[in-house]
A = this chain, B = another copy of it.
């Protein structure tokens, strides 16, 4: 039976005929040994197939080079894009990330926070995940920096990376208005959602007000969340109450596509009979029929930015400030001027 255990720094030292201190030095510090020793050590490392043990390193350095990322769900396009951004930033700095799917459950979240503490992660990212005061307290006790991506925090001092949701919604409505629409409905997420619910509705109201259009509460509908089915259901209600709507702004792309699907089923043509704007800018939007005009959030870049903020904070020991990531109205083919404008009568 050959020696199955992987070689340690000790083995390398013995084999190379130097001390472990020397091996460690050529591995880490750029100094403290002769060029000749360096080459010799490097060669034996190569020959033995030695690989340093990050766990042992972590124990002594008191850092794991790992961050934890919490998501309420990971099987969606939004999460996936944010995650990809985070991953890119992490990899660029040689850090690794452990992902935690909390399923929006307080229990699972706290469980994960405990796990992350035991794993000695260097920092934590809350992605799309409500950061309650309770979580903040836990994380404070852990003593590691936190940042939030596309998430609402009950503690305003936590650095956040997000879009200006109010303005983004406002811009969408203004575009409708520019196109001549006045009968504008909205499919919202739950208004109790302080990140993606309430602010977008506020933007909708502000744009209407500035244009002198009366705000009619029943022109805003929502169901449970931000999903396709919610969009379908909300549209039914909207259409029943207000069949004369010429434009609908939806708080997510899925919501918008659900609405379009329900509208098509009712025989409405898009955009001829009904204009639609979505939100998020996921790849769903370009795949819709017709391609969906939407307010894009650049999730990839949000994830990347948030991760970098966190890494900076870890490195400097100072809390960073948040960032607003610019949104962008991507114009495709789901919006046109209302065909039955009064002047046509």
A interface with B by C-beta (< 8 Å): 4, 6, 49, 51-56, 58-59, 64, 66, 73-77, 79-81, 83-84, 87-88, 91, 94, 96-101, 108, 114-115, 117-120, 141, 143, 228, 254, 257-258, 260-261, 264, 283-284, 286-287, 289, 300
In contact, B96 and A97 (Cβ under 8 angstroms): no
A and B contact pairs by CB, cutoff 8 A, 29 listed: A4-B143, A6-B143, A52-B118, A55-B55, A55-B59, A55-B119, A55-B120, A59-B59, A66-B98, A74-B80, A74-B87, A75-B80, A77-B80, A84-B101, A87-B99, A87-B100, A87-B101, A96-B98, A96-B100, A96-B119, A97-B98, A99-B99, A228-B283, A228-B287, A254-B287, A258-B287, A284-B284, A284-B287, A289-B289
Docked Cα-Cα span, A254 to B284, in Å, equals: 10
Q: Distance (Å) between the CB of A275 and the closest chain B CB?
A: 17
In contact, A99 and B101 (Cβ under 8 angstroms): no
A56-B59 contact given A80-B75, A257-B287, CB 8 Å threshold:
yes
3 cross-chain pairs, A with B, having the tightest CB-CB distances, nearest first: A54-B118, A75-B84, A80-B80
Nearest-CB residue, chain B, relative to A120: B55
In contact, B88 and A81 (Cβ under 8 angstroms): no
Please state the number of chain copies in the assembly: 2
Docked Cα-Cα span, A80 to B80, in Å, equals: 6
In contact, B96 and A115 (Cβ under 8 angstroms): yes
Q: Which residues of B contact A4 (CB under 8 A)?
A: 143
Main SS of chain A's interface residues?
Answer: helix
Docked Cα-Cα span, A143 to B7, in Å, equals: 13
In contact, A120 and B54 (Cβ under 8 angstroms): yes
Q: Distance (Å) between the CB of A202 and the closest chain B CB?
A: 28
Q: Distance (Å) between the CB of A114 and the closest chain B CB?
A: 7
A76-B80 contact given A55-B120, A119-B96, CB 8 Å threshold:
yes
Nearest-CB residue, chain B, relative to A91: B101
Q: Distance (Å) between the CB of A51 and the closest chain B CB?
A: 5
Having A74-B84, A75-B81, one finds 18 other A-B pairs with CB under 8 Å, namely: A51-B114, A53-B59, A53-B118, A55-B64, A55-B120, A56-B59, A59-B59, A66-B98, A73-B84, A75-B84, A77-B77, A91-B100, A91-B108, A94-B115, A96-B98, A97-B98, A228-B283, A284-B284
Q: Which residues of B contact A108 (CB under 8 A)?
A: 91
A52, A96, A97, A258 — most chain B CB neighbours (10 Å): A96
CB within 8 A of A97: which of B99, B120, B258, B264?
B99
